[in-house]
């Protein structure tokens, strides 16, 4: 395989287009629509000129099957085609016409197998067969280049040496800079921007360059969660980003296997491995792929729950699917049965599993959520409890639920969690220190340590004083927790998908102290005015607070994920039983 020849072809094409289109910048006729391209979108005069320049350059150097947005698929050059070339002669046409310095020429090349060198050969190929990519920022002159199994590189303007590039190692979304494809933004993407999940959002309007920015670590990710990304837009950037260590998939985490067709479309998420996992968790269903391993957690005080766990283990082993057991469950089963005949192991690292099976009631689900922490692991919740409002499947549906997950034929429901930070002063210090408590799936409750005694506190929303409250306590509930303690204390029921929190005083002294529903992006601050107070997270985690301490509550950066089973309003019937 002659990579040097491929490189020579790519370099000649990008340099020729750069030289040919620069005089067209600012020419009023460059912006005229002259036809509808093969991909079904309007073609500007500057696009046609750039494509013709590329065709002439390719014909001088090789015979190839060319895929381009304007002409579609065409054989160029004499003799049997040696190469497949995917071209976007100008990526970022609007920027070019308006002299915004972010527009490029993008080219990707793969070798056509010798046994079948004709235009039909590409029917057996896809984007993964592309072996060389090159993208040149026409406005600034820098060139990006990637070659299969040899890495990715940049040549800065006026430099002579190619420098190796790789994706960033940013791990937290809050620290990330993300490029977004702006056309036809979905509600999901708009909420992502509104919620300020990342440090910066950038919209450049040139997909190939934005992928190269991710490849060099200048951006931490680039996303387009619509099915609008075209083959020609990303082919060159795909090879470069792939060779820089980036992960490139559709929004559900599936590797791209785009056919070599000018009309092919896909969604797109590209980043480093850690951020990619988080972004797919937000925008798609990465778990549509076959599960790696199930984690199993169960209540251990009921024989029928333990018997069901054994049946599940038998079923998973018959399906050839791995599993790990929560430590207490493992110890209980070890004393109860001949565990050595099974491939049973303790779940030591939550990152080893892709899904969590929760066998029990709401308490078991909350334990599973705490165990998962901030990891993107969905819960398959099986009802073996007394209330089970958080559970999605009955005992009779457990094997059906497992099969749904194995086949990838299921939906994920994302639930908001509440982060909790306690700010306190130590006697020898004047400034506040802080302690981060675990996230709450249901609610954060502040109550007195002494029975039948009221606590006294102030409530602030986004820094604005709301009221001074004397009550037995106060609940800040997520939408998921609105059917739990909050409901018993007089709070409203919220659909789990709502972006909101409920603030509910418990038995308030003043009659007008009523529940408040606040926007999910709000910061809720509660200042303790008198007496010691106990902070309780999901009925389990406890922290003692004293006079002057503050509790700051806001939407967590992490979510809880559930494999969807029962419909929400059908579960409400349980509240009437």
Q: What are the DSSP calls for 160-177, one per residue?
A: -S-EEE-------GGG-E
Residue bearing tokens 């008198």:
530
Domain boundary pick from 255, 286, 317: 286
Question: Is 569 a member of any domain?
Answer: no
Q: In angstroms, rounded to a whole number, what is the distance separating the alpha carbons of residues 152 and 249?
A: 19
SS3 357: strand
pLDDT of residue 429: 61
Give the distance from CA 179 to its chain's centroid.
13
pTM score, two decimals? 0.64
Output the domain CATH number for residue 273.
3.40.190.80
Task: Read off the tokens for 343.
Answer: 């491939």
pLDDT of residue 145: 95
Q: Is residue 308 part of a domain?
A: yes
**CA 21 vs CA 71, 209, 228, 346: distances in Å:** 18, 17, 26, 62
Judge contact between 435 and 543, C-beta under 8 A.
yes
In a domain, 82, yes or no: yes
300 and 446 assigned to the same domain: no
Select from 298, 387, 307 the least CA-distant residue to 347: 298
* 188 located within any domain: yes
pLDDT tens track, the chain, 577 positions: 677 889 999 999 999 998 888 887 766 777 777 667 767 777 778 888 888 999 999 988 888 889 998 888 988 888 888 899 999 998 888 887 787 888 899 999 998 887 767 777 777 889 999 999 999 999 899 999 999 999 999 999 888 899 999 999 999 888 999 998 866 666 667 677 766 778 888 888 899 999 999 999 999 999 998 888 999 999 999 999 999 999 999 988 888 889 988 888 999 999 999 999 888 878 876 665 566 789 999 999 889 999 999 999 999 999 889 999 999 999 888 877 777 777 888 999 988 898 999 999 889 999 999 999 988 889 999 998 666 678 889 899 999 999 988 887 788 888 999 999 999 876 656 667 889 999 999 999 999 877 777 889 999 999 999 999 899 999 999 999 998 899 989 999 999 888 899 999 998 888 778 899 999 989 999 999 988 899 999 988 788 988 889 999 999 988 899 998 877 777 776 666 5
User: Using only C-alpha atoms, what is the Rg of the chain?
Assistant: 29
Segment holding 243, helix H or strand E: helix 231-243
Indicate whether 309 and 370 sit together in one domain. yes
Range of the domain at 64: 3-161
Considering the domain architecture, whether residues 328 and 308 belong to the same structural domain is answered as yes
Same structural domain, 281 and 316: no
Q: Assess whether 335 and 439 both reside in one domain.
A: no
In a shared domain, residues 268 and 303: no
Q: What is the pLDDT of residue 24?
A: 79
Residue finishing a domain among 376, 410, 444: 410
> Residue for token digits 């207490």?
328
For residues 146 and 132, the answer to whether their CB atoms sit within 8 Å is yes
Using a 10 angstrom Cβ sphere, with 0-12 exposed, 13-18 middle and 19 or more buried, the burial of residue 560 is buried
| 45-61 and 3-21 helices, crossing angle to 10° | 150
The CATH number linked to 312 is 3.40.50.10330
pLDDT on residue 195: 67
Which pLDDT score, from 0 to 100, does residue 446 have?
95
Q: How many structural domains is the chain composed of?
A: 4
Q: CATH number of the domain at 11, please.
A: 3.30.540.10
Task: Count CA atoms within 13 Å of residue 94 on its CB side.
Answer: 6
Known catalytic membership, residue 362: yes
Q: What is the pLDDT of residue 263?
A: 86
- The active-site residue out of 91, 233, 362, 549 is 362
What DSSP letter does each residue of 480-521 carry, written as one string? GGGGTHHHHTTPPP--TT--EEEEEEES-SSTT---EEEETT
Same domain assignment for residues 406 and 372: yes
Dist. CA 515–CA 409, nearest whole Å: 39
183 vs 99, 198, 224, CA distance in Å? 20, 20, 9
């Amino acid at each position: 395989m002659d990579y040097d020849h491929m490189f020579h072809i790519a370099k000649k094409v990008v340099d020729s287009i750069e030289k040919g289109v620069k005089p067209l910048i600012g020419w009023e006729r460059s912006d005229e629509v002259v036809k509808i391209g093969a991909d079904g979108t309007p073609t500007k005069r500057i696009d046609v000129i750039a494509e013709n320049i590329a065709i002439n350059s390719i014909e001088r150097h090789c015979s190839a099957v060319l895929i381009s947005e304007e002409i579609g698929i065409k054989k160029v050059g004499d003799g049997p085609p040696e190469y497949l070339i995917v071209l976007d002669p100008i990526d970022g046409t609007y920027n070019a016409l308006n002299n915004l310095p972010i527009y490029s020429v993008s080219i990707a090349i793969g070798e056509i197998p010798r046994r079948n060198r004709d235009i039909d050969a590409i029917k057996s190929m896809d984007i993964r067969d592309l072996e060389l990519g090159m993208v040149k920022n026409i406005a600034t002159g820098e060139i990006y280049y990637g070659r299969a199994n040899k890495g990715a590189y940049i040549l800065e303007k006026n430099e002579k040496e190619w420098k190796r590039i790789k994706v960033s190692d940013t791990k937290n979304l809050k620290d990330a800079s993300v490029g977004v494809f702006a056309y036809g933004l979905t509600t999901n993407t708009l909420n992502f921007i509104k919620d300020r999940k990342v440090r910066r959002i950038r919209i450049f309007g040139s997909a190939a360059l934005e992928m190269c920015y991710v490849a060099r670590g200048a951006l931490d990710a680039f996303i387009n969660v619509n099915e609008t990304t075209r083959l020609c837009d990303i082919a060159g950037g795909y090879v470069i980003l792939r060779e820089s260590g980036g992960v490139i998939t559709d929004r559900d985490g599936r590797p791209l296997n785009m056919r070599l067709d000018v009309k092919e479309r896909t969604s797109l998420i590209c980043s480093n491995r850690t951020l990619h996992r988080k972004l797919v968790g937000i925008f798609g269903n990465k778990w549509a792929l076959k599960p790696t391993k199930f984690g199993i957690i169960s209540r251990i005080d009921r024989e029928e729950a333990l018997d069901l766990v054994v049946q599940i283990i038998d079923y998973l082993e018959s399906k050839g699917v791995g599993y790990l057991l929560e430590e207490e469950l493992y110890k209980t089963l070890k004393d109860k049965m001949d565990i050595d005949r099974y491939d049973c192991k303790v779940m030591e690292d939550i990152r080893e599993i892709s899904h969590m099976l929760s066998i029990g009631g709401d308490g078991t689900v909350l334990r599973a959520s705490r165990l998962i922490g901030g990891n993107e692991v969905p819960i398959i919740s099986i009802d073996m409890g007394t209330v089970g409002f958080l559970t999605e499947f009955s005992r009779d549906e457990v094997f059906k639920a497992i099969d749904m997950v194995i086949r990838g034929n299921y939906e994920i429901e994302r639930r908001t969690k509440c982060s909790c930070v306690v700010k306190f002063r130590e006697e020898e210090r004047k400034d506040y220190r802080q302690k981060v408590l675990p996230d709450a799936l249901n609610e954060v409750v502040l109550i007195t340590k002494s029975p039948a005694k009221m606590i006294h506190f102030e409530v602030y929303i986004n820094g604005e004083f709301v009221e001074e409250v004397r009550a037995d306590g106060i609940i800040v509930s997520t939408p998921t927790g609105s059917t739990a303690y909050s409901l018993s204390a007089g709070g409203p029921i919220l659909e789990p998908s709502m972006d909101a929190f409920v603030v509910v005083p418990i038995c308030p002294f003043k009659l007008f102290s009523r529940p408040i529903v606040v926007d999910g992006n709000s910061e809720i601050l509660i200042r303790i005015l008198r007496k010691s107070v106990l902070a309780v997270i999901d009925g389990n985690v406890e922290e003692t607070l004293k006079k002057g301490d503050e509790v700051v509550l806001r939407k967590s950066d992490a979510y809880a994920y559930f494999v969807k089973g029962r419909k929400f309003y059908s579960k409400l019937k349980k509240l009437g039983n």
